[in-house]
Amino acid sequence: MINPHGSADLMPLYVSDQNEAKRLLEEVKSLPSLLVNSAVAANAVMLGAGYFNPLKGYMNLADTMSIAEDMKMKDGLFWPVPIVNRTNDISSIENAGRIALLDPNVEGNPVIAIQDVESIETIKGDQLHTITEKIFGTTDKDHPGVGTFLSQGKYLIAGPIQVLNYSYFDGEFPDTFRTAVQIRDDIAKKGWETVVAFQTRNPMHRAHEELCKMASEAVNADGILIHMLLGKLKKGDIPADVRDAAIRKMVELYFPADTVMVTGYGFDMLYAGPREALLHAVFRQNAGCTHLIVGRDHAGVGSYYGPFDAQTIFDSLPPDALKIKIFNADHTAYSKKLNKVVMMRDVPDHSQDDFVLLSGTKVRDMLAAGEDLPEEFARPEVAHILMAYYQSEAEA
């Protein structure tokens, strides 16, 4: 199986030993605590699950600036997006060497992790501007990722962590949330060697389904990992439980048995386009995948990124940066001429009118009105799940 990023073996930060976890929860009672923001909690989940291997915890300012500017840590490890613990209020933890991190996303704010505090540094305004510009390609506060990022705090708390739980993810999505450790184990049990990962924060329509099949066939894959984001999204995006149901129905009915793993991961969407695509590649390698599908405007939002920026950024990497390979995909759509889903780049003789294309707004309006989507665009069983959601939203 493909090696994890930066190490021979996966090194998740979740405390799996029950006795040790019990001891740490007892220790928590004597520690100062910090209520973290959602992004920090999601980082803890990803660190605990092994997705952010080989990191030991949250980064300091030197590594943060190095990653922003050069996509590598001070020790030379390739890394595309800083993994940090930021806050605006350090009054409860000043001079503390060890602190409890409280989860903002679970009622009662339980402890999600314990952190050894190696440093607390202040990010200056010009440094935050540089980090934001490099990671997101813009400092426009209307960009949903930028607005969230800028609000996360001026203090940077660095140091290793021990993760005690996976927040709400394993409780709310028991059949879907999987750690990188679990996915690797499942891949090994299935005997898969070549595995294609498909990232999604949306339901999968017919074009996405066919894209997975195209990529799998092109690389002669043993299996496909459909890996959906389960964390925080921007307003208007479809909730994870609805996406999960729709994707599972599609896989059940339209893929050969035992060729697809439907899973999810606990992270908040950044909408950082090219840089986020690189992060997606890192943690799919950690999950044991050999290939990642990178499509048109991967991890993008609005018109902040070019349609293929998330693909071309991989061309700028040193050859040893990642072991996972990228399957570059164009926009896919149903061709009326050929009566099948195709990549648009493969049919230069087609015009826009030769494809079945619907805007997101049009799809939402049709579903809310109870109108069936064209079968060339969406599988009817999938569309009906989405229709029920949009109609319930309209009635609310």
3-class SS of residue 45: helix
State the catalytic residue, choosing from 98, 201, 248, 364: 201
Name which of 191, 192, 64 is nearest 128 in CA terms: 64
Question: d(Cα 168, Cα 177) in Å, to the nearest integer?
Answer: 10
**CB-CB contact of 55 with 47 (8 Å):** yes
Burial (0-12, 13-18, 19+ Cβ within 10 Å), 257: exposed
Name which of 374, 380, 376, 351 is nearest 362 in CA terms: 374
| Phi (first) and psi of residue 204, to 5 degrees | -105, 120
Token pair 């490099």: residue: 134
Task: Identify whether 201 is a catalytic site residue.
Answer: yes
Task: Identify whether 202 is a catalytic site residue.
Answer: yes
State the catalytic residue, choosing from 3, 98, 109, 202: 202
Question: d(Cα 74, Cα 70) in Å, to the nearest integer?
Answer: 10
Tell me which DSSP letter residue 352 carries: G
Question: d(Cα 294, Cα 296) in Å, to the nearest integer?
Answer: 7
Question: d(Cα 223, Cα 263) in Å, to the nearest integer?
Answer: 13
| Phi (first) and psi of residue 386, to 5 degrees | -70, -35
Question: d(Cα 30, Cα 100) in Å, to the nearest integer?
Answer: 9
Return the exposure string of 338-364: e unless at least 16 CB atoms fall within 10 Å of the residue's CB, then b.
eeebbbbeebeebeeebbbebeeeebb
Q: What share of the chain is helix, strand, coil (3-state, %, to 5)?
A: 35, 20, 45
So which residues are the catalytic ones? 201-202
